[in-house]
Amino acid sequence: MGRKIVVLVILICTLLALGLGVAAHAQDPGGVTTGAAKDVIGATPGAPTADDLKAAGKTEPFAAKLADVVGQNKVAINLSWVLIAGFLVMFMQAGFALVETGFTRAKNAAHTMLMNLGIYGIGVLGFFVCGFAFMYGAAGAIGNLGGTPTLAGGHELALTILGHKFGLLGCSGFFLTGKYYDVMVCALFLFQMVFMDTAATIPTGAMAERWRIISFVIYGFFMSMFLYPIFGNWAWGGGWLSQLGANCGLGNGYVDFAGSGVVHTVGGLCALAGAMVLGARIGKFNSDGSANPIPGHHIPMAILGTLILAFGWFGFNPGSTLGASGAGNLRIAVVAVNTMLASAAGLVAAMIYMTIKVGKPDPSMVANGMLAGLVAITAPCAFVSPGESLMIGLIAGILVCIGVALVDKIHVDDPVGAVAVHGINGIWGVIAVGLFADGTYGCGLNGVAHNVVGLFHGGGLAQLGAQLIGVITLGFWAFGVSYLFFKGMNKIVPMRVSKVEELAGIDMSETGITAYPEFEMRR
């Protein structure tokens, strides 16, 4: 059996190697020509213009050549910044694994861990096949990363209404073959892939302890190939939400710097839909409708996960400039400080709230408060001041405590609080942009030639309007489409393990091993 599989795989691979592998029309796979003199143009207010560069070829030939190295240095700074930030975000997968496993029960720990590990592999494949192409296939080059525009190959789906183009879907970059075998495209792919992965891993928390692996795998491809990339295209890939400013005068269009909406609300609302379809764990709700707490089995594990997430978030938010040098990219320092302040404020707010509410600062809610602050600041982190980040985080820390209780109240069983942390606070973050954006950053964003300004800084309702349209769209897309997907899948591939399996713990029945075979457990 094993031998047959190997032979088969080798055969497939050899064939593929002769097809997929041949890098026809590769753009700059060797990284040689990316980053050059043209990248210095407009990098700073005093930087050379295109005309300056042209003239210099004759008047200052050495400096003109030197500009080539300066340009590549700039691109190298930006590309390495994006990669390092992407690595940090990838590490968040470990944070999610620990938080979700720590906050659930020992008898399902191997299963929860497996989902968090598996989603990374599945997600990479799905995003490689078509997710990236759908999301960014119409986005064109990212200036910070240098190179020639490749992705905007004119291949996209869009509606044109009254002369304005509203993008729906990108259609280039599948499998990163041909001219997409390029250093700039690869840097963008890696960074965006780990964002998708973050969204994809959120539902594994809300649906933990009762989800069949086979159904989870199908979900993984659904999320990485369709659900996430399509909303991602609308918000970040040049799609219709991003063009609400240029096309309809709504501020800078839907603005979501690092993805409170694109990543966290998509994940959080999909988690809500999944948890609703899947139903509550046995024993979670009493016949009178009241909820029983089911404590997490390993608090240090969950707190470690929380700190890993907070660490990785410094890649998530500051990395989302896609650069560190040129054109306002030093803003990364403000972004990082805002991220730090909001996480701290969320943590402290939850600590105070829980102490007032139940008399003690429950560490699991303190951790969730920190995560809530992080989720909420993710959209506005580049557009607000440190003081405002603190406020956004404070509110997030309280919202999450209320949210967890609320989810219980509507009889949805979310073992780790994913809906409250990512869904509710994702929405809060998206709205916060429309309220707090202070007009110091974002000029040129989504093709609008002014900084992002929210209600509290004299921006009126325009930006807030774009944000609210985003929230409504998220409701329909991330919750609605997910709900239909889960309902449909459940009919074909039943999502839930059997009652006997669930009571015994699904580690053995779903994964074949147990998480802690040597530790004695309480009954």
Alpha-carbon span 498 to 511, nearest angstrom = 14
Residues in CB range of 11: below 8 A, 6 or more apart: none
Using a 10 angstrom Cβ sphere, with 0-12 exposed, 13-18 middle and 19 or more buried, the burial of residue 304 is middle
Buried b (16+ CB within 10 A) or exposed e, 264-289: bbbbbbbbbbbbbbbbbbeebbeeee
Q: Does residue 161 sit in helix, strand or coil?
A: strand
- Asked if 359 interacts with a second copy (CB under 8 A), we say yes
Q: Which of 139, 390, 462, 495 binds a second copy (CB under 8 A)?
A: 390
- Asked if 21 interacts with a second copy (CB under 8 A), we say yes
Of 109-117, 152-160, 258-266, 463-471: span binding a second copy (CB under 8 A): 109-117
Report the residue number, 266 or 370, with the smaller CB distance to a second copy.
Answer: 370
Taking the complex as a whole, the smallest distance from the CB of residue 522 to a second copy amounts, in Å, to: 5
Report the residue number, 25 or 411, with the smaller CB distance to a second copy.
Answer: 25
Residues of this chain, 124-153, that bind a second copy according to CB under 8 A: 124-125, 128, 146
Tokens 């390029």 belong to 182
- Asked if 218 interacts with a second copy (CB under 8 A), we say no
Is-contact 331 346, C-beta < 8 A?
no
Q: Which of 70, 375, 466, 481 binds a second copy (CB under 8 A)?
A: 70
DSSP state of 419: I
Alpha-carbon span 179 to 199, nearest angstrom = 28
Residue 273, CA distances (Å) to 134, 423, 492 in order? 23, 11, 17
Residues of this chain, 414-453, that bind a second copy according to CB under 8 A: 435-436, 438, 440-441, 443, 451
Using a 10 angstrom Cβ sphere, with 0-12 exposed, 13-18 middle and 19 or more buried, the burial of residue 491 is exposed
Taking the complex as a whole, the smallest distance from the CB of residue 344 to a second copy amounts, in Å, to: 3
Q: Which of 198, 329, 467, 473 binds a second copy (CB under 8 A)?
A: 329
What number of other Cβ atoms are within 10 A of residue 461's Cβ? 13
Tokens 């009178």 belong to 288
- Asked if 388 interacts with a second copy (CB under 8 A), we say yes
DSSP-H helix ranges across 379-507: 386-409, 418, 425-436, 462-474, 482-492, 499-504, 506
Is-contact 266 470, C-beta < 8 A?
no
Q: Which of 164, 248, 385, 469 binds a second copy (CB under 8 A)?
A: 385
Q: Which of 168, 218, 398, 468 binds a second copy (CB under 8 A)?
A: 398
User: Going residue by residue from 296 to 315, which x/- string records binding to a second copy, judged by CB under 8 A?
Assistant: xxxxxx-xx-xxx-xx--xx
Taking the complex as a whole, the smallest distance from the CB of residue 248 to a second copy amounts, in Å, to: 26
Amino acid in the structure at residue 479: F
Q: How many CA atoms lie within 13 A of 252 on its CB side?
A: 25
- Asked if 187 interacts with a second copy (CB under 8 A), we say yes
User: Going residue by residue from 467 to 506, which x/- string records binding to a second copy, judged by CB under 8 A?
Assistant: ----------------------------------------
How many residues of this chain bind a second copy (CB under 8 A)? 190
- Asked if 209 interacts with a second copy (CB under 8 A), we say no
User: Going residue by residue from 41 to 60, which x/- string records binding to a second copy, judged by CB under 8 A?
Assistant: --xxxxxx---xx-xx--xx
- Asked if 358 interacts with a second copy (CB under 8 A), we say yes
- Asked if 275 interacts with a second copy (CB under 8 A), we say no
Of 114-122, 261-269, 270-278, 413-421: span binding a second copy (CB under 8 A): 114-122
Alpha-carbon span 431 to 399, nearest angstrom = 14
Report the residue number, 247 or 425, with the smaller CB distance to a second copy.
Answer: 425
Taking the complex as a whole, the smallest distance from the CB of residue 273 to a second copy amounts, in Å, to: 25
Alpha-carbon span 186 to 79, nearest angstrom = 10
Of 235-243, 244-252, 352-360, 466-474: span binding a second copy (CB under 8 A): 352-360
